[in-house]
Every structure is written in C-alpha cells, then in structure tokens.
Amino acid sequence: MSAIPLSDCEIVITRTFDAPPSLVFRTWTEPEHVKRWWLPPGFTSGGCEIDLRVGGMFRMNMLSPDGESYPCEGFYEEISPPERLVYQGMQDNRHACGSGLPPYGRVIVTFVEQGAGTRLTIRAQLQSPEACAEADAAGFGTSWNASLAGLADYIAASLKASG
C-alpha cells in the first residue's frame, strides 16, 4: 500500500458529542456500531467490516433508497485509541462519495476530550481541487453532518440504555 499524493484540498467537519472520547472512538471503529449510524439520509447498511490495525481494511456498503450500492473502502494508516484515526480511501472512481471515504483521499479523524464530551474533527484531504469539488457536489459535508447527527443520537440512546 502506497501513500497517495494529495493536493492542498481539504474538507473539515467538526462536531461535539456528549460522551467521552473512548466511547465515541469505539462507536467509530466497531462494525456493529458503525453500520447503525454511518449512512447518508435515506440510506441503509449493506454491511460493514473493520480490521482495526495499521494496514487493515475498512469496508462499508451503503445502499441508496433506489437500491444502488455505494461502497466505502479504505485501509488504516494510523490508529491511536482513543485520540486519532487515519485512513485512506481506495484508488477507484466508482463514486465521488457522500458520507464515506473519498476515493484517493486521506481522512484524519481526531477525538479530543472537551469537558465531559468529545470534539470530533474529520479532515478529508483530497487529491485535487476537482476531487474536492466532486466530493462537495456529491454531498460529502451535508451527508457527513447528517451521519454525525445520527451518531449523536446513537450514542445518546446507548448511554440511556446502559444507564
């Protein structure tokens, strides 16, 4: 696996969660949790596989309301629980990506303790300004914000159930 050269194009998304970094990190890295929230609005999960180790693969299949499959695939470059994940999207052109891994892109996710909660930051670095525009047009920011709202709801429900 080689590093993909990137441009100066970066999309940054942040959100604060009412949960500790260890819980937010776990819901981000365990398939049984990920498949419940990592979806754009109207999509369903077609399965999720995570091999959480450097060089390990991430696979999430998102199914659109019209039944089209949108695979999100990548591999982990760095794993520092519960503070940081770095992964890279696969080198293919199947889709520009909504709520997922941009093809040819690198994603850095940080989980920073903020009081009793977590400030999560997603930094998606893309290969070119054109790839950035494509991801934006495909709803990368909008879809991620909706998915993160779903993550917040999922965490709140999990805390309530355990509580």
Per-residue confidence (pLDDT) for residue 98, from 0 to 100 = 47
Please state the rounded mean pLDDT for residues 131-156. 84
Quick one: pLDDT band at residue 110, thresholds 50, 70, 90?
very high
Residue 122 above 80 pLDDT? yes
pTM of the predicted protein model: 0.86
The per-residue pLDDT for range 10-49, each reduced to its tens digit, is: 888 899 999 999 999 999 999 999 999 988 888 899 999 9
Please state the rounded mean pLDDT for residues 150-158. 93
Q: Which one-letter amino acid corresponds to residue 71?
A: P
The per-residue pLDDT for range 63-92, each reduced to its tens digit, is: 889 998 888 888 999 999 999 999 988 766
Residue 118 above 70 pLDDT? yes
Structural domains in the chain (count): 1
79 falls within a domain = yes
89 falls within a domain = yes
Please state the rounded mean pLDDT for residues 131-139. 77
Compare 33 and 103 and report the one with higher pLDDT: 33
Distance, in Å, from the CA atom of 143 to the CA atom of 38, rounded to the nearest integer, reads 9
> Is 49 within 8 Å of 76 (Cβ atoms)?
no
Distance, in Å, from the CA atom of 14 to the CA atom of 128, rounded to the nearest integer, reads 22
5 falls within a domain = no
**Could you tell me the two tokens for 87?**
């992964």
Quick one: pLDDT band at residue 4, thresholds 50, 70, 90?
very low
1 falls within a domain = no
2 falls within a domain = no
In 3D, which of 149, 108, 125 has the Cα closest to residue 16? Answer: 149
Distance, in Å, from the CA atom of 135 to the CA atom of 11, rounded to the nearest integer, reads 9
Q: What is the CATH number of the domain that holds 122?
A: 3.30.530.20
Highest mean pLDDT among 40-44, 102-106, 149-153: 149-153
Please state the rounded mean pLDDT for residues 95-106. 62
The range of the structural domain enclosing residue 67 comes to 10-162
4 falls within a domain = no
Quick one: pLDDT band at residue 105, thresholds 50, 70, 90?
confident
Q: Using a CB cutoff of 8 Å and minimum separation of 24, what contacts does 56-60 make?
A: 58/87, 58/101, 60/34, 60/35, 60/100
3 falls within a domain = no
123 falls within a domain = yes
